[in-house]
Amino acid sequence: MQNSKIVNFLKIFLFFVVLGTVGLLSLILTRPTESESEKRKLAEFPKFSFSALLNGNYASGIDKWYSDTMPNRDSLIAFNSKLWSIKGLSVGGEIQGNVAGGDEIPDTFVPILPPINNNENNNSTSTTTKPEETDPPIEDDDKGETINALYVYKDAAYSYYSFVKSTSEKYVGAVETAAMKLDGIANVYDIIIPLSTDIVLKDSVRKNLSTSDQRAAINYMYSGFNKTITVSIFDKLREHRDEYLYFRTDHHWTALAAYYTYTQWADVKGITANELSSYKTKTFDGFLGTLYTKTNNSSALGDNPDEVIAYIPNGTNNMVFTDVKGNQLSWNVITDVTSWVSGSKYNTFIGGDNPFSVIENPTITDGSSCVVVKESFGNAFVPFLVDHYQYAYVIDYRYYKGNFYNFIEENNVSDVIFINNISATSTGARVNELSKLVGY
């Protein structure tokens, strides 16, 4: 009996010794200020005030700072993920997040465009705007694409897609409005990029997932266009599904998938695409992207990081972009990101997401120009256009504040290319931003 009490006392004593040691070390060791895997700044120690002390905000702020900036936080999260994987949760595939059921995809598209006055000034963006549609609540991923749920299968993660009828139709209306206003001024192309779930995931696995049919959704949206020239890439990507088309740890596509899309666009435009072998390449390994973060640093993904392969344009690798603060920076179309943190290597393409960029190809002097209207998926596509125009302009509609139509007319732009991943077409915040740009 006495021995039992001694053993229990020693257990309790040891527990508090370990607890106190960990607590003391967490205060002595250097605490991180940023999380590389989550790509965000961590909580700061709260500023003291009597009001914050009285209402409890000061104490809760300290608690948040202490837990958020725990030394080796990213490693501990990854270790926790590895422990869960040992329990066998990811053997047959694991669903993470909330799976939102999509709307039924209709067979026939009903035109929803407002009447366009052919005599109106195309420089103006003040057109009659449709009343705001009420969409299901969607996570706005900090100006990125919505990732509501993921499916982790073996060493890759796949994003769910939920078709939202009202938002998808508004997307069509926005692009078609631009095409109607620019009729006779510039050709307007639209490219909707499917996600990896419907391209590379095995059909036997894909059929059991409650995610909307991307081919049907794209076909439905394309059927609503009249003036817009559509570039269908779904089947082209399916033909190459066994190749490295999408990252396993990130929601973006690879430059190889963007190249196949470029060849489809070239066919539609009626020009000859460059051979893939004509480009010099740069390869950056150790890429762990957004899906790795969304899965709480899954060991299945973390143990098998991606590599980013980039193709350098033949005409030039120089560009200038304007950042969100209005600063102009000279940059490279393909930037060396070898030393960048693991989650930032997709930014090798055109310097990442900036409101406005311009690439001038000195080997072409005919004054030809295009505008690419895009979100982040478009970054990997832009480099392939450089060799076909003297000027390639890039507008990220999430940040651009200029007059869209004035810019096109003043710069004699002949081709406007809207390129969006399919999730963006069902994300209310993205479609609202695009609608504002084109005055829809």
What's the pLDDT tens digit per position in 356-406?
Answer: 999 999 999 999 999 999 999 999 999 999 999 999 999 999 999 999 999
Strand 280-287 and strand 34-35: the pairing is unpaired
Segment 218-243 shows an average pLDDT of: 98
Mean of the per-residue pLDDT values for the chain? 84
pLDDT value, residue 196: 98
Segment 291-303 shows an average pLDDT of: 91
Query: Residue 337 to residues 123, 261, 288: CA-CA distances in angstroms?
Result: 39, 24, 13
Segment 332-339 shows an average pLDDT of: 97
Please list the residues that pair with 357 across neighbouring strands.
Answer: 321, 394
**With bands split at pLDDT 50, 70 and 90, how would you rate the model's confidence at 13?**
confident
Q: How many residues does the chain have?
A: 440
Residue 140 has pLDDT above 50, yes or no: no
Please list the residues that pair with 149 across neighbouring strands.
Answer: 97
Segment 199-219 shows an average pLDDT of: 95
**With bands split at pLDDT 50, 70 and 90, how would you rate the model's confidence at 161?**
very high
Backbone angles phi, psi at 111, to 5 degrees: -55, 135
pLDDT value, residue 147: 60
Residue 126 has pLDDT above 50, yes or no: no
309-346 b/e with 16+ CB inside 10 Å = b? ebbbbebbbebebbbeeeeeeebebbbebeebebbbbb
Task: Looking at mean pLDDT, say which of 38-52, 53-67, 161-175 comes out highest.
Answer: 161-175
pLDDT value, residue 31: 63
pLDDT value, residue 404: 98
pLDDT value, residue 188: 98
Segment 10-19 shows an average pLDDT of: 72
Residue 119 has pLDDT above 90, yes or no: no
Q: Which residue has the higher pLDDT, 161 or 11?
A: 161
- Domain limits, the chain: 2-76, 94-438
HSE of 357, CA atoms in CB hemisphere, 13 A:
27
Residue carrying structure tokens 């047959």: 92
Please list the residues that pair with 283 across neighbouring strands.
Answer: 309
pLDDT value, residue 381: 99
Residue type, 341: V
pLDDT value, residue 118: 43
**Residues 245-276 pLDDT 10s:** 999 999 999 999 999 999 999 999 999 999 99
pLDDT value, residue 108: 82
pLDDT value, residue 97: 59
pLDDT value, residue 420: 98
Residue 278 has pLDDT above 70, yes or no: yes
Segment 144-168 shows an average pLDDT of: 86
Lowest average pLDDT, out of 10-24, 111-125, 131-145, 340-354, goes to 131-145
pLDDT value, residue 438: 98
**With bands split at pLDDT 50, 70 and 90, how would you rate the model's confidence at 134?**
very low
pLDDT value, residue 102: 86
Residue 121 has pLDDT above 60, yes or no: no
pLDDT value, residue 89: 39
Q: Of 340, 382, 335, give the one whose Cα is nearest residue 361.
A: 382
**With bands split at pLDDT 50, 70 and 90, how would you rate the model's confidence at 109?**
confident
